[in-house]
Amino acid sequence: MPDKRRSLAEAIATVPDGSCLALGGNTLHRAPAAAVHELIRQQKRDLELVKTAGAYDVDLLCGVGCVSVVSAGFVGYETVLGLAPMYRRAVESGEVEAREHACYTIIAGLRASSQGVPFMPLNGLQGSDLVSLRGFASVRDPYTGQDVVVVPAIVPDVALIHVQEADADGNARIWGSAFEDTLMARAARRVIVTAERIVDRAVLAAEPERTSIPGFLVEAVVEAPGGAWPTSCAGLYEYDLPALEQLLAVSDEPPALRTFVDERILGAVPAR
Amino acid sequence: MSANSPVRADASLVAAQMAVALARLLRDGETVFFGVASPLPMVAALLARRLHAPGLVILTIPGGVDPEPPVLPISTVDPRLLVGATALITLADVFDLAARGRLDTAFLGGVQIDRAGRINLSAIGDPKRPKVRLPGGAGSAALMPTARRTILWRTRHDTRTFVPELPFVTAAGNVDRVVTPLCVLRRVDGALDVESVHPFSSPDEVRGSTGFTVTASHETPATPPPTDEELSVLREIDPAGVVAAELQGR
């Protein structure tokens, strides 16, 4: 296979403004932060973000004006730091459209895409206003005559996924929880993987059952040590609470936020 | 303590009462799930497994089945929740399990809760242009109608939380109980009412703090306070007081 290793700048330069991006990880854990930081560095605009439960990644991209739509089940820093203030402000001002989903409807939409079908039936959502808010239709089951709610396919243009190990062909393995990442890799048109380290092909070949994202699905792989920082990366580092607290402390002051992003985030030597 | 008393129970006492009240609701051998931002349900599930429900099957977002975390995380998506787990599943597996009728109990939260036990986690004001954009319902809209039973918890009990009408129904479904800092509510015939009042609260306080009509009087039972055994196991599971942090937090 061709060598798919790219620099972070090269890989992210292929992401056009207006793209729909699936972001791997979940809340404070294994977010594709290095890729997110590069999106900011390259001043991408009008992005749509897709994730079951986002925190730092979604919040920061909203805070620096890269986003027009967020399709997610949950955006917040959990009990650790509470609401996502930049996302919240961007939605309340009308700058960003919050397309709230249930996490399961994100999964169902990605499943439809991964299976090449236009929509996915789903059991759930009974009594929820999300059905009318999202305009989810029901169809009649041709076999039983019963109605079932259907979720349209969600087809991300690019999935951005951070993993612990990958090889030069893009074969990737995730330690611990995969969250929706392996599904995203099958639902998106293109996949960009960032990895804590690029390992020799033989390392993955010794245990192929641990490769959850096969390289043939991956367009580019970037070595990005500390690439989930300031979120956690299982087996390697925990989320960086002081950094997140410092970010949120300046999140409502645009000049201070800009300085923090430039100096601490874009200029930071990633923690390991 | 009377309703006129300005003295508030301290967070660790309230947290312990809520944790044991939640734990006591769990049954041996059932499957239970908790999602994002759920320290109290996490502690309650671990507590129940140590006390009366050794066969509890604990499911989480990171996917570790029956974890035995030596140190509790505050984030309930944390990789620490894989420690000691005997199998690794995914969040999609949990939704699928519920969808096919095999998830017994889901712990879910609500920023606002109405009399029918429906919840709003989406927005205050017009959901398309909200006054306050809330975090979103995460898994609740899918799990509340499909899990056999939902137990809600909320770390505040006031008339802004318990409202007569929700601006937006994020999720509705099989709500059984709601555990709050003041009481346990139970849904009977489609409506929440007070089942027991915590020892440090009062029927007057509960009624005055609830934005719809509930019946609580001097005849309403008191929630049994934590036993010595419950408190001792709780301290072992949660020495750092993660549950109290949730009560004091955001």
Q: With CB atoms and an 8 Å threshold, state whether B90 touches A179.
A: yes
Instruction: Give which of A128, A148, A149, A182 to mutate to test B binding, by max B Cβ within 10 Å.
Output: A128
Rounded to whole angstroms, the Cα distance separating B209 from B191 reads 17
| Closest by Cα among B224, B188, B177, B182 to B206 | B182
Q: Provide the residue type at A89 as one letter.
A: R
| Average pLDDT estimate for A207-214 | 98
Nearest to B249 among A82, A176, A180 (CB): A82
Q: Is the pLDDT of residue A114 over 80?
A: yes
For residue A186, pLDDT over 80 is answered with: yes
Q: Are B136 and A75 in contact (CB under 8 A)?
A: yes
Q: What is the residue range of B111's domain? A: 11-248
* pLDDT for the residue numbered A1: 65
Residues 6+ apart with CB under 8 A from A132: none
CATH of domain A8-104+154-266: 3.40.1080.10
B64 found inside a domain? yes
Nearest of B141, B179, B148 to residue B161 by alpha carbon: B179
Mean of all residue pLDDT scores within chain A? 96
Is the four-CA dihedral B96, B135, B150, A140 of positive or negative sign?
A: negative
The number of angstroms, rounded, from the C-alpha of A249 to the middle of its chain's C-alpha atoms is 24
**Would you say residue A181 has pLDDT above 80?**
yes
By C-alpha distance, the chain A residue nearest B170 is A128
CA max distance for chain B: 51
Between CA B207 and CA B213, with CA B210 as vertex, the angle to 5 degrees is 70
Mean pLDDT value of segment A174-184: 97
A34 vs A38, A161, A271, B41, CA distance in Å?
6, 10, 11, 33
Which H or E run contains B22? helix B11-24
Model pTM above 0.90: yes
B93 within 8 A of B63, measured Cβ to Cβ: yes
Q: Which ranges of A116-240 would DSSP assign to H, the alpha helix?
A: 130-134, 181-187, 201-205
For residues A127 and B128, the model is more confident at: A127
CA separation for the pair A237, A240 (Å, rounded): 9
Q: Where do the H-state alpha helices sit in B28-90?
A: 39-50
Residue B2 in domain: no
Place of tokens 């999720």: B171
What whole-number distance in Å separates Cα of residue B50 and Cα of residue B34? 17
Chain CA centroid to CA A1, Å: 26
> Which residues lie closer than 8 Å to A91 by C-beta, 6 or more apart?
A62, A70, A97, A98, B130, B133
User: What is the complex's ipTM, to 2 decimals?
Assistant: 0.95
pLDDT at B245: 86
Q: Least CA distance to A235: which residue of chain B?
A: B79
Distance from CA of B119 to the nearest CA of A (A): 9
Quote the CA–CA distance of A215 and B177 in Å, as a whole number: 48
Instruction: Give the H/E segment covering residue B245.
Output: helix B242-248
CA distance A198 to A228: 15
**Is B24 inside any structural domain?**
yes
Q: Token pair of A254, please?
A: 């645009």
Residues with Cβ within 8 Å of B71's Cβ and at least 6 positions away in sequence, in order, are: B80, B240
Closest CB to B249 among A79, A107, A183: A79
Which residue, chain included where needed, has tokens 């239970």?
B32
The pLDDT of residue B8: 62
Please compute the mean of the pLDDT values over residues A247-252 and round it to a whole number. 96
Q: For position B182, which CATH number holds?
A: 3.40.1080.10
As for how many domains chain B has, the answer is 1
Give the strands of the sheet with B183-188, arranged side by side. B57-60, B31-34, B105-109, B149-153, B175-179, B183-188, B191-197
In chain B, what residues touch A235 (CB-CB under 8 Å)?
Answer: 79
The per-residue pLDDT for range A34-63, each reduced to its tens digit, is 999 999 999 999 999 999 999 999 999 999
CA angle A182/A184/A189 to nearest 5° reads 125
- In the beta sheet, which residues pair with residue B183? B197
Q: Indicate yes or no: CB of B137 within 8 angstroms of CB of A98.
A: no
Q: Which residue has the higher pLDDT, B5 or A68?
A: A68
**Residue B222 per-residue DSSP state:** B
Nearest residue of A to residue B100 by CA position? A123
Q: Flag whether pLDDT at A102 surpasses 90.
A: yes
CATH 3.40.1080.10, chain A: domain bounds: 8-104+154-266
**What stretches in chain B show pLDDT beneath 70?**
1-8, 250
Please name the amino acid found at residue A54.
G
The residue whose two tokens read 């560095």 is A41
Identify the residue among A93, A96, A100, A162 best suited for mutation to test binding to B, counting B beta carbons within 10 A and taking the highest. A100
